[in-house]
Structure 1
Amino acid sequence: MRYLSSLFLLILLILWGSCRNDFESGPSTGNVQFSTDTLFLDTVFTNIGSSTYSFRVYNRTNDDFTIPTIALERGESSNYRLNVDGIPGKSFENIQVLAKDSIFVFVETTTDITDQTTENEFLYTDRILFDTGTNQQDVDLVTLVRDAIFLFPSRDAMTGELESLPIGVGGDQVRIEGYVLEDNELTFTNEKPYVIYGYAAVPGGKTLTIEAGARVHFHANSGIIVAENGTLEINGALSTDPEVLENEVILQGDRLESRFSEISGQWGTIWLTAGSTGHTINHTTIKNATVGILMDSNDGGPNPTLTISNTQIYNSSNIGLLARTGNILGENLVINNAGLVSLNCSLGGVYNFNHCTFNNYKNFGNPFSDTPAVLIDNFIEIEGQPFSLDLIEANFTNCIIYGDKNFKLLFAKDDSKAFNYNFKNCLIRFNDFDNSFDDNPLYDFTNTSLFENVILNEDPDFKTPFENILNIGDDSAANGQATTPTSGTDILGTTRNTSAPDIGAYESVVFEEEEEGN
């Protein structure tokens, strides 16, 4: 009997299933619902494909239905591309959506601005039409497209290989994708953004000048490389609008979508090679690189190889500023959030930093990581053997060296070479809880010939350091503690207090939330 009962139930299920026909559902009647009525695809450069965006199409009724047509209003000429429920195309017929279910629609675009307008940017729009006539519904598509100047390596017509640059000498030489900038390419203006593929090389004896307000974007594994006797001049200026930063020079990746705005490692580096000289960087933001600035060797002269001021370097996946035997003068410099170290003064050199902020909260999700803000050394290892040079001087005056873990300042010394450094009126985070550095004279903060008027482990009261906003509040331990006399302005152009200036790149302010509480 049990067998007969089970057989009877099975027959009923088969008969019930045979009465259903999931492929003969009725048409939709204007009752489709969407997760959005307008899909914004963020900003893209002309002729560069966007990211893939998506929305959902819902059937919230109790019955299956079929959408008779789904199509782009511009038809086959549309610059948008669709994928509806796994099917690519620009128009579709009889797309079924089961009861209480949904499907995904994916959207991409690649748009040529020259076909649309003579302006530097425009809105490209279209609509996805669901059904026709009185049942028609739609989702709007909107993309801001920007024109740009594209710089990229040429491709050999015979071999198909991309142009490349030789790096190194002899058997150690390698080649990287890149090209030498022509004379008519050695001035970047603010008229249009620049998009660089590969490494744009500044030849010896030439200067690349980047004017105030210029925007330079780099594709993955791209950057700028300055050859021996070449020079980089970035001439940003103080902006009046802190949101727009109209006079700031900004160097970043070429993905303009908002979700890429703070992602590190999107491009390579600004590489100032050995023998390049006379570099100046002012009012510049360098963000989301692998190494923000890589500098090899000073030029042996009395003047700095690099003078960098009023500049911010953020979100480097490796190092913010890496100088090997560098000769650097820095003022009002902010370096924040790097995967390894914010500032690395390596293999000796000459360094003078005044009113700078070096901070590091970046640990890539590893709560046990303690990445320093500043690392100073006078040697590197080559094939397991140390190679060392004199640290002639490393002077930090009125600087903040801080972060979210214990040891934000670290040294690595080869005793066979000079190792000269001095910190004056600096705020430093160095929490030696287990006294592991007690016997190391490099960290003797009571030695006034090395550390003078240093503030240890006090709160700088940054506004939102994880978001790269390192303004200090009125309650900061750095407030009024800088050495005097001090003249000039901070990184924002605020005149410094001549009698009691603040440590770091910013003069302190009362944060808005504090004002509201008063």
Structure 2
Amino acid sequence: MTRFLYFSITLLFLMLWSSCRKDFEFTPSTGTLQFSKDTVYLDTIFTNIGSSTYNLKVYNKSDNDIVIPNISLKEGFNSLYRLSIDGMLGENNGTPGSEGKVFENVEVLAKDSLFIFIETTVDIENQAATANQFLYTDAIEFDTGNNQQTVELVTLVQDAVFIFPDRDNTTKVIDTLTLNIAGELVVTDLQGRELLPDELTFTNEKPYVIYGFATVPPNETLTINAGARVHFHDNSGIIVPNGASIHVNGAFSNDQDLLENEVIFEGDRLEPNFSETTGQWGTIWLLDGSVNNTINYATIKNSTIGILSDGNPNETNNKLSISNSQIYNSSSFGILGRNTSISGENLVINNSGLSSFAGTLGGKYNFTHSTLVNYWNNGFRQFPAVLLNNFVLDEDNNATIADLTEANFNNCIIYGNDNPEILLDEIEDDAVVFNFKFTNCLIRFNDTNNNYTGDNYNFDDTLKYEGNIFNEQPDFKDPDSNQLIIGEDSAANGRGLATFSTQVPLDILNTNRTGSPDLGAYQHVTFPEED
């Protein structure tokens, strides 16, 4: 009985409360809305490629529930912007896809807000573009007449050369690549296609946007001119197969912020929050049999593996020669060599999920005046900045071994935020050699627990180590931000061997180093004092 009485009283109370409650009464807006932004800047996009989604918050700070009679784009149904308001897509003018332009009678409760999400896709060919760029603008209008308020919309649209995989016109299946790997034709599941003859020279007139893997035809050369910009979509890259070459012909830039003459490889997301995001695209892959690959004054950033080089360990002139170049923000390796031959001068590598440089399954490597460091801060890192080994394991854990013919590091800085930053992982076998030498390098290696033993870590062996400095500070400007120029307090200052500085007389910033060479790719500077 008591339970029934309690239930009855509760029900009666709810009925009386609901009968006294007024329904929401919405009054027309009076032009007093407030906004999180006066102008929404949608960052630079490529023509015909959709932007990211941007948001605008609209506040009703009055004590009244209001209705906004009309929210629309100034250009109406002709606008190239698209809106979504708290999940609503708006009116349709009878044309498919016309939603997201005009909204009627949008309600906002007192002291509440609503979200507007904004996107755009623009075809630059239909606009009056200048210098391959077009500033596209519109505005969101709230209400009409004297109560009208506006928020401007602005985005820069950039024209580009697009390289897409071929599609079958009937099935819409995207073509996949058949590659010549070690003399054997291998059908892969990689999307992409061979570059056409008129695509084998990349200029600086327009940026290039690559979807899938663009493959250089056998026995041809892809030439990339100074100032070119190459952007890659997710899971995309460049493949240089048997008999083919890539020549990246960048030049020194007077403006180190713009890098106007440098060739830049990066992802196709142009928004500022993606400018340093790792793993946005695949790799530049030099297959076994590719020859005479050269890279000068390039920045390779935000890839999975900056450069993957396979085979040709005995090339007289090296399979890859890379100079005056920077590789940053690779989610695994900056450069991964597998039984290959690479020479590097004024090379800077940093911020790699595994190793900045890994020479695996032997090979031949020579680095002079290079800064090979790793200040990865996106999680645990299991490998050092520089890794050398002479083997590869198959899925059954069986090892294939090969000669490490030579691995010379001269006047280099090998450092990072872990310890130690070199690993010499040799399977000892009389059938192969494991030759390396570090000469006049600044190295982080402090084996306090004596975990690294054996002849490879005998730092008194002058056949392997000579004139090196261990565990002293390089005094980088800001390694977390890939600013690896050294300051006047660096232990690397004046410690270079003149023999090697004569071979590379200018540093990566074109500063003469022959008088008193510093270690690494940069001569030191005096950093301004912080306020």
Report the equivalent of 2:221: 207
What is the RMSD of the two structures over their aligned residues, measured on CA atoms? 1.7
Distance of aligned partners of 1:420 and 1:508 in 2 relative to their CA distance in 1, 3 Å threshold: same
1:78-99 deviations in Å (ceiling 9; x for gaps): 1111000111221101111111
* 2:432 matches 1:428: no
Runs of at least 4 residues of structure 1 off by over 6 A? 169-172
- What's 1:21 paired with? 23
Matches within 5 A, 1:139-154: 139-154=151-166
Mapped partners of 2:354, 2:313: distance in 1? 27
Q: Where does structure 1 lack aligned partners over 5 or more consecutive residues?
A: none
Q: Does 1:133 align with 2:137?
A: no
Question: Residue by residue, what CA displacement relative to the aligned partner does 1:37-85 show, whole Å, maximum 9, x if unpaired?
Answer: 1001100000000100101000111111111110000111111110001
Higher mean alpha-carbon deviation, 175-184 vs 283-292, is at 175-184
Q: How far apart, CA to CA, are the structure 2 residues paired with 1:396 and 1:107? A: 51
For 2:97, the equivalent position in structure 1 comes to none
Of the three residues 288, 294, 302, the one matched with 1:288 is: 302
Between the aligned residues of both structures, percent identity stands at 54
Instruction: Give the partner amino acid of 2:154.
Output: V
How far the C-alpha of 1:371 sits from its partner, in A, is 3.4
CA positional deviation for 1:513: 2.2
Matched, 1:12 2:16: yes
> Do the aligned partners of 1:234 and 1:249 also contact (CA within 8 Å) in 2?
yes
Please, what TM-score do these two structures have when normalized by structure 1?
0.95
- Asked if the contact 1:472–1:508 (Cα under 8 Å) also holds between the matched residues in 2, the reply is yes
Conserved? CA contact 2:313–2:363, under 8 Å:
no
Alpha-carbon contact 2:349-2:371 (below 8 Å) kept? yes
Partners in 2 of 1:280 and 1:6 — Cα distance? Answer: 83
In the alignment, the residues of structure 2 paired with residue 223 and residue 172 of structure 1 have an alpha-carbon distance, to the nearest angstrom, of 18
- Which residue pairs with 2:520 in the alignment? 504
In 2: Cα distance, 1:482 partner to 1:300 partner: 28
What amino acid is the match of 1:506? Y
User: Is the CA contact 2:313–2:364 (under 8 Å) kept in the aligned structure 1?
Assistant: no
The one-character-per-residue Cα deviations of 1:158-206 (angstroms, maximum 9, x if unpaired) are 3221122114587964231111111111000000000011111111111
Please say which of residues 240-249 and 160-169 is displaced more in the overlay: 160-169
Q: CA deviation at 1:512?
A: 1.8
Q: Which structure 2 residues correspond to residues 142-291 of structure 1 after superposition, within 5 A?
A: 142-167=154-179, 168=181, 173-291=187-305
The counterpart of 1:453, out of the listed 467, 471, 478, is 467
One-letter amino acid of the counterpart of residue 55, structure 1 = L
* Preserved contact between residue 315 and residue 341 of structure 2 (Cα < 8 Å): no
Distance (Å, rounded) in 1 between the aligned partners of 2:86 and 2:240: 49
Q: 1:170 to 1:306 in 2, by over 3 A?
A: closer
Query: Residue 408 of structure 1: which of 404, 421, 427 is its match?
Result: 421
SS for the counterpart of 1:513 is coil
Once the two structures are TM-superposed, the CA of residue 364 in structure 1 deviates from its matched residue by 2.2
Provide the rounded CA distance (Å) in 2 between the counterparts of 1:363 and 1:40: 30
Please, what TM-score do these two structures have when normalized by structure 2? 0.93
> Is 2:115 the partner of 1:99?
no
Structure 1 residues 386 and 227, CA, compared in 2 at 3 Å: closer, same or farther? same
AA in 2 matched with 1:407: P
Contact 1:406 1:431 in 2 (8 A): yes
Helix, strand or coil at the partner of 1:304: coil
- CA–CA separation in structure 2 for the residues paired with 1:263 and 1:270: 18
Unaligned segments of structure 2, at least 5 residues = 90-99
Q: In the alignment, what sits opposite 1:473?
A: 487
Deviation at 1:303, TM superposition (A): 1.2
Letter in 2 for 1:139: V
Per-residue CA deviations over 1:381-402 (Å, capped at 9, x if unaligned) read 1232101110000000011111
Instruction: Indicate the SS of the match to 1:15.
Output: helix
SS at 2:171 equivalent: coil
- When structure 1 is superposed on structure 2, of 369-378 and 312-321 the one drifting more is 369-378
Distance 1:170 1:216 in 2: 29
Q: Deviations over 1:310-345 (max 9, x none)?
A: 000000011110011111110000010111111001
The letter for the 2-side match of 1:106 is F
CA distance in 2, matches of 1:240, 1:76: 46
Q: Which residue of 2 aligns with 1:419?
A: 434
Q: 1:243 to 1:69 in 2, by over 3 A?
A: same
One-letter amino acid of the counterpart of residue 79, structure 1: L
Report the Cα distance in structure 1 between the residues aligned to 2:186 and 2:272, rounded to whole angstroms. Answer: 40
User: Aligned partners of 1:212, 1:414: CA distance in 2, in Å?
Assistant: 43
Partner AA of 1:255 in structure 2: R
Tell me which amino acid in the other structure corresponds to 2:387: L
User: 2-side partners of 1:480 and 1:301: how far apart?
Assistant: 33
Q: Determine the C-alpha separation between the residues in 2 that align with 1:230 and 1:10.
A: 81
Please give the alpha-carbon distance, in whole angstroms, between the structure 1 residues aligned to 2:211 and 2:161.
11
The answer on whether the counterparts of 2:360 and 2:391 sit within 8 Å (CA) in structure 1 is yes
CA distance in 1, matches of 2:194, 2:9: 84
- C-alpha separation between the residues in 1 aligned to 2:314 and 2:451? 38
Q: Is structure 2 residue 47 aligned with structure 1 residue 46?
A: yes
Matched residue, 1:110:
121
- Tell me, yes or no, if the aligned pair for 2:361 and 2:390 is still in contact at 8 Å: yes
* Shift in Å, 1:240: 0.7
Pair 1:491-2:508 in alignment: yes
Counterpart Cα distance in 1 of 2:85 and 2:63: 22
Which residue number in structure 1 is paired with residue 95 of structure 2? Answer: none
Retained in 1: the 8 A contact 2:314–2:340?
A: no
Tell me, what secondary structure is at the counterpart of 1:268?
Answer: coil
* Aligned partner of residue 263 in structure 1, secondary structure: coil
Which one is further off, 148-157 or 167-176?
167-176
- Give yes or no for contact 1:370–1:407 (8 Å, CA) kept in 2: no
Q: Which residue of 1 aligns with 2:77?
A: 76
Q: Which residue identity is paired with 1:428? A: I
Q: Which stretch has the larger CA shift, 44-53 or 172-181?
A: 172-181
Q: Check 1:100–1:213 CA distance in 2 against 1; reply closer, same or farther (3 A cut).
A: same
SS of 1:159's equivalent in the other structure is coil
* Secondary structure of 1:12 counterpart: helix
Answer yes or no: is the 8 Å Cα contact 1:363–1:371 preserved in 2.
Answer: no
CA distance in 1, matches of 2:359, 2:498: 26
Shift of 1:415: 1.1
